[in-house]
Structure 1
């Protein structure tokens, strides 16, 4: 029992378990003492969009996979609001993610789905790593001054932008508890679990459209809540592609934002897999009878 307790990361565990409780308490206080202010939903929507998009476009497609290049302004925005998501620094997040792709579904995979839904979803975050944190596969990120700046100041950045700013905006609107409970804490919980569902649900439910050699699956439902991240089988098969939803009707706002920014010079060198390669992978899966 002692060994188990020593492995628990109490900071992460308490934050992940108490944040929903604090959010509910703050929302109740907001309704009881301030009266429900619908403008607090606008705060939550903006910060949900800014933090979720920063994880999708910034942490994931830009920094982890280098699927495009971005102007320093875009890097700065996604690093600041990525911190406000409370999903760790970009250096830590991307290092874990690269290890996940390299060792998917094995013991070396940080969020290996074969250890169960809970482990892949949130359990892996609640325990300390068995080895010292060295941030493997991150030499390029260490050379990025903005990434290292965010890594050094991650905690104050996350608290200020993710909690204090929404609360102050709520106070300016006459609802500090609403800003705290809905715009900050409630939004943090929602962004957390929609992101976590990519690591858990998208390795369990959905279609293996392009490859059946890994557990990743395409799920249009999770794509709706994660700015297009739900097309996970495509992503694991063609991880360098800046798109996740490859067809025109796939809901992938991350793809649309990256593409639209390229028109004004804020992004460039967008990487795409050829249509022929994608079609061949789809045909091979249909021939196997795997994809319905």
Structure 2
């Protein structure tokens, strides 16, 4: 029996460290309070200079895209917003809520759409994203957390991508039970052809559509719906790891770092209810407020209405209230 299977069995027999997790949610995304950081000096930070250079050039290109905004047509600006939302859903509704937390079930057509949208977002393939995110939840704010916010805002936001992973991140990631991802043909297909799908979806399609359909210049089309849109999606996602772990209130669990942050909620289309999410990671809405500031939950509910999604997991209201009373910081307001 693997370490993950042993932990899951124990959590099904006893109440988990999170207090209110039902058996079906006590899996790789549940916090493991048995992990202990190794004594002694920390391993040296090894800078990945290729990533530093690429991220620097990307953000310079995005700033130039901001400069080009006045010269873009209204249709191009609207197309940029559409690409932003599609990209965002590929992360939030796809890699995060569906594949990382298994908080709802999606039909094959919806899974294909979300995998394509995920390639447009270009934040590692679904398998790698989900694996690292489960490690993040299981070992949050420790050396085994890929973007440990205890190491500061810059590290949690972008720095973790500019250095080699801590050895504990790699070790713990290898021990996770990932059969659901390995058995998902959509996930494996996207992983196999990820580089090609990124070139097509993240750069080619956003650039070619405005040029071909309404005569936008290729220059503007590349820098706005291409580079600027991509950079904004990246930073919106990174804010969940950085700002939402540092600033805001903690109405559900004052003993953990993740916070409720309205700015992050807006920019990341619903992912800023982060204290709730880390308290109840299996809830498909990542919030007790349904559609409020939560475009991703609206999208998933629409997919359910259309018959493309089902079995959305929700936390019973009485459990939420009990958790608020037991571990909240007193800042909770209903509605």
Alpha-carbon separation, structure 2, partners of 1:171 and 1:281: 52
**Aligned partner (choices 192, 200, 205) of residue 165 of structure 1:** 205
For structure 1, which segment, 195-204 or 130-139, has the greater mean C-alpha deviation from structure 2 after superposition? 130-139
In the alignment of these two chains, the number of paired residues is: 285
RMSD: 2.2
Asked whether the 8 Å contact 2:251–2:330 carries over to 1, the reply is: no
- Give CA deviations for 1:215-251 in whole Å, capped at 9, x if unaligned: 0001122111111100000000000010123125631
Alpha-carbon separation, structure 2, partners of 1:183 and 1:224: 20
Gaps spanning 5+ residues in structure 2: where? 1-42
**Aligned partner (choices 246, 258, 282) of residue 288 of structure 2:** 246
**Aligned partner (choices 108, 120, 139) of residue 72 of structure 1:** 108
Alpha-carbon separation, structure 2, partners of 1:66 and 1:11: 34
**1:187 pairs with 2:229:** yes
SS at match of 2:118: helix
Gaps spanning 5+ residues in structure 1: where? none
Alpha-carbon separation, structure 2, partners of 1:30 and 1:277: 47
Partner of residue 320, structure 2:
278
Asked whether the 8 Å contact 1:27–1:177 carries over to 2, the reply is: no
- Give CA deviations for 1:42-80 in whole Å, capped at 9, x if unaligned: 121111010001110001000000000001111111111
**TM-score computed with the length of structure 1 as normaliser:** 0.90
Alpha-carbon separation, structure 2, partners of 1:51 and 1:121: 18
Alpha-carbon separation, structure 2, partners of 1:127 and 1:246: 36
Alpha-carbon separation, structure 1, partners of 2:79 and 2:66: 14
**Aligned partner (choices 182, 187, 210) of residue 142 of structure 1:** 182
**Aligned partner (choices 194, 202, 211) of residue 154 of structure 1:** 194
- Give CA deviations for 1:121-170 in whole Å, capped at 9, x if unaligned: 01011112254968533221011111011111111111111111111113
User: What is the Cα deviation at residue 28 of structure 1?
Assistant: 5.0
SS at match of 1:265: coil
Partner of residue 258, structure 2:
216
Alpha-carbon separation, structure 1, partners of 2:291 and 2:114: 26
Partner of residue 10, structure 1:
49
User: What is the Cα deviation at residue 14 of structure 1?
Assistant: 2.4
- Give CA deviations for 1:163-211 in whole Å, capped at 9, x if unaligned: 1111111322222112111101000110000100000000001110101
**TM-score computed with the length of structure 2 as normaliser:** 0.79
